[in-house]
Amino acid sequence: MSTRIVIAVIILVWAAIVVVFGLRLFMPQSQVLPRANDVNVSDYANNSNAEVRITIQGPVVANENFRSGMITVSPSSRSITAYKTYNNEVIQSEVLPNNSAAFTQLMDALQVSGFGKRTKSDQQQVASSCPTGFRYTYELRENGNVVLQTWETSCNTPRATFGGNVGLTNQLFRAQIPALNQTPNYSVLLQ
């Protein structure tokens, strides 16, 4: 009888090992998993030294045709900047006032959108990740230091590090700049 128990235990252990390794092999690379370095964005909602940022880069094209843009929001201001060329020459920039209540609402909404979630990928963003589409970089900063930086593309690159809802997150940032869609220089930020 004890031999049967030993054999059964050995079979169960082997089955468990096969299942664990099988799941690791076939799990999608960018699946969102809880990580110790995920950030609760709402924790920064009342921090006067915090800011969030989205940077959008357009498709890889000739230097003179390349466009990118950035929206940064803090408790005291909202800024938008449009760039041309790969050297980030400023085309247009604008700073609008903000207040703590509005910033808190944005941070809570970003928490819901998954802004602070990372995928298990550690891939660095490169232009080749989506050369004909758009690349999005998301940042949370405190006192000028990067607390969180993730990225995604319009090509839904499987190696991207952003684990949240791209459409919702981008819309929340765009909504911070009321005249965004009325200014041609900011068109890259509408992507």
The per-residue pLDDT for 127 is 65
Q: Which residues pair with 83 in a beta bridge?
A: 68, 90
Cα distance between residue 127 and residue 140, in whole Å: 22
Look at residue 18 and tell me whether its pLDDT is greater than 50. no
Cα distance between residue 109 and residue 111, in whole Å: 5
The per-residue pLDDT for 125 is 66
The per-residue pLDDT for 133 is 92
Cα distance between residue 71 and residue 73, in whole Å: 7
Cα distance between residue 58 and residue 190, in whole Å: 11
Closest alpha carbon to 83 in 107, 116, 56, 122: 56
Asked whether the beta carbons of 12 and 20 are under 8 A apart, the reply is: no
Cα distance between residue 3 and residue 143, in whole Å: 65
* Main-chain phi, psi angles of 112, to 5 degrees: -65, -35
The per-residue pLDDT for 30 is 40
Residue 25: pLDDT band (50, 70, 90) is very low
Cα distance between residue 142 and residue 151, in whole Å: 18
Percentage of the chain lying above the pLDDT 70 cut: 81
Residue 158: pLDDT band (50, 70, 90) is confident
Q: Decide if 186 is inside a domain.
A: yes
| Tokens encoding 9 | 């235990």
Q: Decide if 130 is inside a domain.
A: yes
| Overall residue count recorded for the chain in this entry | 191
Q: Decide if 126 is inside a domain.
A: yes
The model's pLDDT over 85-124, given as tens digits with 9 standing for 90+, comes to: 999 999 999 999 999 999 999 999 999 999 999 988 877 7
The per-residue pLDDT for 173 is 96
Amino acid at 21: F
Domain of residue 111, CATH code = 3.30.1560
The per-residue pLDDT for 23 is 38
Q: Decide if 135 is inside a domain.
A: yes
Q: What is the mean pLDDT of the chain?
A: 84
The per-residue pLDDT for 177 is 94
Q: Decide if 8 is inside a domain.
A: no
Q: Decide if 66 is inside a domain.
A: yes
Q: Decide if 3 is inside a domain.
A: no
Q: State how beta strands 50-57 and 89-97 pair.
A: unpaired
Residue 191: pLDDT band (50, 70, 90) is confident
Q: Decide if 93 is inside a domain.
A: yes
Asked whether the beta carbons of 51 and 33 are under 8 A apart, the reply is: no
Look at residue 147 and tell me whether its pLDDT is greater than 90. yes
Domain ranges, residue 144: 33-190
Cα distance between residue 43 and residue 142, in whole Å: 12
Number of folded domains that form the chain: 1
Look at residue 16 and tell me whether its pLDDT is greater than 70. no
Output the CA angle 113-114-115, nearest 5 degrees: 95
In 12-73 the beta strands, taken as DSSP E runs, fall at 50-57, 67-73
pTM (2 d.p.): 0.79
